[in-house]
Amino acid sequence: MYRYDEFDATMVAERVAQFRGQVQRRLSGELTEDQFKPLRLMNGLYLQLHAYMLRVAIPYGTLSSKQMRRLGEVARKYDKGYGHFTTRQNIQYNWPALVDVPDLLDDLADVEMHAIQTSGNCIRNVTSDQYAGASAEEIEDPRPYCEMIRQWSTFHPEFSFLPRKFKIAVTAAPHDRAAVKVHDIGLILYKNEEGETGFEVIVGGGLGRTPYVGHTIRKFLPKKHLLSYLEAILRVYNLEGRRDNMYKARIKILVNSEGAEKFAEAVEAEWAQIKDSGIDLPREEMARIDAYFAPPVFEKLSDESAVLEEKKASDKNFARWLRLNTFAHKAPGYAIVNISLKPIGGVPGDISDVQMEAVADIAEEYSLDEIRATHEQNLVLPHVKKDDLYAVYAALKAVDLATANIGMVSDIIACPGLDYCSLANARSIPIAQRISERFADLGLQEDVGELKIKISGCINACGHHHVGHIGILGVDKKGEEFYQVTLGGSGAEDASIGEIAGRGLSSDQVVDAVEKLVGVYRERRQGKERFLDTYRRLGAEPFKEALYEAA
Amino acid sequence: MKLLKLSRGRLYPALEEPLSEVSLEDWLDNPQGHADATALKISNDVSLASIRCDLAGFSTIILEFPAFKDGRAYSQARILRERYGFTGEIRARGDVLRDQLLFMARCGVDAFEFTGDADGANEALKEFSFAYQRAADDLQPVWRKRLDRAAAA
């Protein structure tokens, strides 16, 4: 894991001091709320429906046990005893008092954490594959590049007042767990035919009210030019992106209105001017950052674990958890463990202070001190010995964190919706809870298999409904909450934007609707098809029919 | 309107000498007609890629920040300094706020039409000891300091 040196620590400490001054100026009345707004928004502090909300960055989703423990303490000390993991691998606190926020940030700075650039029209927290450094699928660990981007983008003087927010995701595996094709910039690290590793650069993807899958504007970018190329993209966007209408200000609108080719030409022309001007990191600094992410020393183990086999045979629930919540690790005898933050009937992404501390303890004892947050609002223990899996399962179960539903119908992404958010048209969380309860039977869920439901409470699409296999969008119809269903979306390597199924449904109808869609799938699926595969093979018709038959 | 000028890392209130301003469009239209202009005003929706003219005749270039959120002129300032090598004064006009002065200065702006308090403005410039990235100022990025320190060790 990356560790701060004195420079990093100073930057964060100075940011807290600066923000403390800004809060003081607000509290003393020197700044009006209007004047304070752009300042707090540079530091992840939003004014929500009922209170301030603070979003804390978890760069590329990587946390140590010490950091997770501190997140739990912060939840208890400054909030109502819980936090909420978001779709960008961050955590949000929904109830801090403004006057406490500088102290809260000091507590975070102690463990090398911050809220820098978690809001505002700047380059946001960079996200990545939650299995980075643990999966056998990847070319190399993508996180060193994420850290390089984090440093380069932090307080970037030219790119702090962009037309709109800007999100970058990086992956190094063919199976895309970072949704790189629906980011402002998505980077895929891969090995080309000459055997060199570099990035495929994808630009202009995004969700919101105009969803787009991104375009590849450069097939292969040598790693050493990463930052200068990003700078060229950002400069073209900063100068050319629309500023007359905030709904048309994201880079996706620029790329898609100009055409990806023309946009790529502009970037290449800019890059030609700046690529050798000292933006890129020298080899020594790249190596320094790289070294922090050297693989941990894994014990030499047999890939078979007798303890595991025995427990698997004797405990059916454990066996299911093992099938659904663990993933192959690159080192023999190890596994990647997913911790679901989607208990049946729970609030997606919510976690209590006690649970956070338990996860910290478990990671310290069993996962080489590492934890990851995922964009699907779950957590990961990346390096668990197979021999320890049962102990980990038992420890998670003791704090209600062992729901076996990763990737299943109840593993729902939902935005905070009208329960918290001032932009929302409808509630998201209760819909997620009721779908989850309808499919409470984990055996049934496993039979249904991978099915990604994503719920947004308004067209801004924070719940990623466009890329849900089943997407649900809350709309306001004459003061009543209605829900529009989209079908066939995906945020993975087979990215696509879902199609609207038909007229909106009431909150009562929408849960039945999901059940009907699942019914069509179970009837019509062939072989090992997932819901999405069956939908793509059959098209929308049979699903629409089921949805709207005599309803 | 008050004017602050940057000199060796500090901002000083400056006398407002009258400038003879001309917009880029007017000047490109009729350079002879504006031979006595001392300040070139560039609006922030103008592409600098196509400027093929001698900027050295101007003592000042004025860049516009019509709203604090509108950050186009940050890029323009860097292009003027780093690509066109403009060494005269670059002046920020418009919605120039205390908490943006450091970013502007790092992009090459060295004069500010700033209505706030000059002491506060100087504090704002000193809030950060380091910078992670190279820009148009002479601050060494953190990675360079790391290399120097490693070499010295």
Q: Do A158 and B78 lie within an 8 Å CB cutoff? A: yes
- pLDDT score recorded for residue A532: 98
Is A313 in the same domain as A286? no
Q: Does residue A268 form part of some domain?
A: yes
Q: Does residue A120 form part of some domain?
A: no
Q: Does residue A300 form part of some domain?
A: no
- For chain A, the domain total comes to 4
E-strand ranges in B51-88 read 60-65
Q: Does residue A527 form part of some domain?
A: yes
Is A146 in the same domain as A288? yes
Among A368, A398, A428, give the residue marking a domain's end.
A398
Nearest CA in chain A to B78: A158
- Regarding predicted confidence, which is higher, A103 or A42? A103
Q: Which domain holds residue A177?
A: 142-292
The proportion of chain A whose per-residue pLDDT surpasses 90, expressed as a percent, equals 94
- pLDDT score recorded for residue A425: 94
What's the alpha-carbon Rg for chain A, to the nearest Å? 23
Q: Do B127 and A17 lie within an 8 Å CB cutoff? A: yes
- pLDDT score recorded for residue B52: 66
Residues of B in contact with A158 (CB under 8 A): 71, 74-75, 78, 103, 107, 135
Is A352 in the same domain as A286? no
- pLDDT score recorded for residue A192: 95
Q: In the predicted model, what is the mean pLDDT of residues A319-327?
A: 98
Q: In this model, does residue B7 exceed pLDDT 60? A: yes
Chain A contact present for B119, CB below 8 A:
no
Q: In this model, does residue A387 exceed pLDDT 60? A: yes
User: At A364, which CATH number?
Assistant: 3.90.480.20
Is A235 in the same domain as A310? no
DSSP count for chain B of H helices, then E strands: 5, 7
| Residue range A243-286, pLDDT digits in tens | 999 999 999 999 999 999 999 999 999 999 999 999 999 999 99
For residue B110, give Cα distances in angstroms to A176, A227, A525, A529, B42.
45, 26, 67, 63, 16
Q: Which two tokens stand for residue A290?
A: 């790289």
| Residue range A157-196, pLDDT digits in tens | 999 999 999 999 999 999 999 999 999 999 999 999 999 9
Is A82 in the same domain as A157? no
Q: In this model, does residue B99 exceed pLDDT 80? A: yes
From the number of C-beta atoms within 10 Å of its C-beta (0-12, 13-18, 19+), residue A508 rates as exposed
Summary mean pLDDT of chain A = 96
List, in sequence order, the alpha helices (H) in A241-384: 251-258, 260-274, 283-292, 306-314, 316-325, 353-366
With an 8 Å Cβ cutoff, the interface of chain A facing chain B consists of 5, 7-8, 10-11, 14-15, 17-18, 22, 38-39, 42, 121, 151-152, 154-162, 227, 235, 238-239, 243, 269, 273-274, 277-279, 281-282, 284-285, 288
Q: In the predicted model, what is the mean pLDDT of residues B8-34?
A: 91
- What confidence category does residue A550 fall into, taking pLDDT thresholds of 50, 70 and 90? low
- pLDDT score recorded for residue A41: 87
Residues of B in contact with A235 (CB under 8 A): 75
Q: Does residue A153 form part of some domain?
A: yes
Q: Give CA–CA dist A35/A38, Å, rounded.
A: 7
Is A255 in the same domain as A155? yes
Is A154 in the same domain as A68? no
Q: In the predicted model, what is the mean pLDDT of residues A331-352?
A: 97
Among A265, A292, A319, give the residue marking a domain's end.
A292
Place of tokens 């500023």: A243
Is A218 in the same domain as A356? no
| Residue range A193-207, pLDDT digits in tens | 999 999 999 999 999
Is A422 in the same domain as A518? yes
Determine contact, residues A97/A34, Cβ cutoff 8 Å.
no
Determine contact, residues A408/A389, Cβ cutoff 8 Å.
no
Q: In the predicted model, what is the mean pLDDT of residues A293-301?
A: 96
- Which residues 20-79 of B have a C-beta within 8 angstroms of A? 47, 49, 68-72, 74-76, 78
- pLDDT score recorded for residue A273: 95
Q: In this model, does residue A551 exceed pLDDT 60? A: no
Q: In the predicted model, what is the mean pLDDT of residues A41-56?
A: 89
Q: Do B68 and A22 lie within an 8 Å CB cutoff? A: no
User: At A163, which CATH number?
Assistant: 3.30.413.10
| Residue range A466-506, pLDDT digits in tens | 999 999 999 999 899 999 999 999 999 999 999 999 999 99
Q: In the predicted model, what is the mean pLDDT of residues B94-100?
A: 93
Is A288 in the same domain as A310? no
ipTM of the predicted structure?
A: 0.97
- Give the distance from CA A138 to its chain's centroid: 19
Q: In the predicted model, what is the mean pLDDT of residues A446-458?
A: 97
| Residue range B36-64, pLDDT digits in tens | 999 999 999 998 876 766 888 899 999 99
Is A64 in the same domain as A155? no
- pLDDT score recorded for residue A549: 81
Cβ atoms < 10 Å from Cβ of A205 = 28
Q: In this model, does residue A541 exceed pLDDT 80? A: yes
Among A398, A429, A444, give the residue marking a domain's end.
A398
- pLDDT score recorded for residue B17: 80
| Residue range A113-132, pLDDT digits in tens | 999 999 999 999 999 999 99
| Residue range A79-93, pLDDT digits in tens | 999 999 999 999 999
Is A80 in the same domain as A147? no
